[in-house]
């Protein structure tokens, strides 16, 4: 996601692999028709909103190292995981994605639906520009998970995770693993599908310019 974020924010674009360069203009070109843009925009908005609470919880955890703060952080992550599951339960079909449902989807589906209604009331998510800007914000926010995973796996420097009991560390690791699976199976699935369409559109424009 960091590489995708760089390709969006950097005016020169960025590389996804050693050979695949994504020009910045790919994300801002007009005329590309992306499927179910309204639902994708809503999905990104809900996740971004939920990550604001995760960001706040992350800061509290790092400032107040100890079992009590770690248990509170675990609950924040559990709520986040439940929102992700609720998004899949409510929107997975329209997003063209699906992951195995874990306990909690049913109870959280109603909350996610209410959150969607509250956040999206009167808002238009059909704009590709709004969608791309939303993705950039979401990818930026999601980088906090990298910070925690590095801290959790660090063996050279002490971190708030270093002194936690093994069972609590395993619990937190499971939360992060579920988060990674969600981004890989849901968000990146439809984003990479859209990027493929945008690249195809961009390449066709280039061919047209060469012919002319």
Q: Which residues pair with 14 in a beta bridge?
A: 22
pLDDT at 102: 47
Q: What is the pTM of this model?
A: 0.88
Q: What are the phi and psi torsion angles at 22 (to 5°)?
A: -105, 105
pLDDT at 139: 98
pLDDT < 70 stretches in the chain: 98-122, 207-212
Q: DSSP labels for 81-128?
A: HHHHHHHHHHHHHHHT------TTHHHHHHHHHHHHHHHHTT-----H
pLDDT at 106: 45
pLDDT at 101: 52
Q: Are 97 and 185 in contact (CB under 8 A)?
A: yes
pLDDT at 111: 60
> Where in the chain are the domains?
36-211
């Amino acid at each position: 996601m960091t590489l995708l974020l760089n390709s969006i924010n950097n005016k020169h674009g960025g590389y996804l692999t050693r050979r695949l360069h994504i020009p910045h203009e790919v994300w801002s070109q007009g005329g590309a028709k992306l499927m179910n843009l309204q639902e994708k925009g809503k999905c990104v908005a809900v996740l971004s909103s939920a990550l604001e609470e995760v960001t706040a919880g992350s800061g509290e955890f790092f400032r107040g190292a100890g079992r009590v703060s770690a248990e509170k952080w675990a609950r924040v992550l559990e709520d986040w995981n439940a929102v992700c599951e609720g998004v899949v339960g409510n929107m997975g079909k329209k997003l063209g994605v699906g992951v195995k449902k874990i306990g909690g989807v049913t109870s959280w589906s109603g909350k996610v639906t209410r959150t969607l209604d509250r956040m999206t009331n009167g808002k238009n998510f059909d704009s590709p520009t709004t969608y791309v800007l939303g993705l950039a914000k979401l990818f930026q926010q999601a980088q906090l998970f990298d910070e925690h995973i590095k801290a959790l796996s660090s063996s050279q420097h002490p971190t708030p995770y270093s002194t936690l009991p093994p069972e609590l560390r395993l619990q937190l690791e499971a939360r992060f693993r579920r988060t990674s699976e969600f981004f890989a199976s849901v968000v990146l699935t439809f984003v990479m599908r859209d990027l493929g369409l945008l690249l195809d559109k961009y390449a066709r424009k280039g061919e047209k310019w060469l012919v002319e």
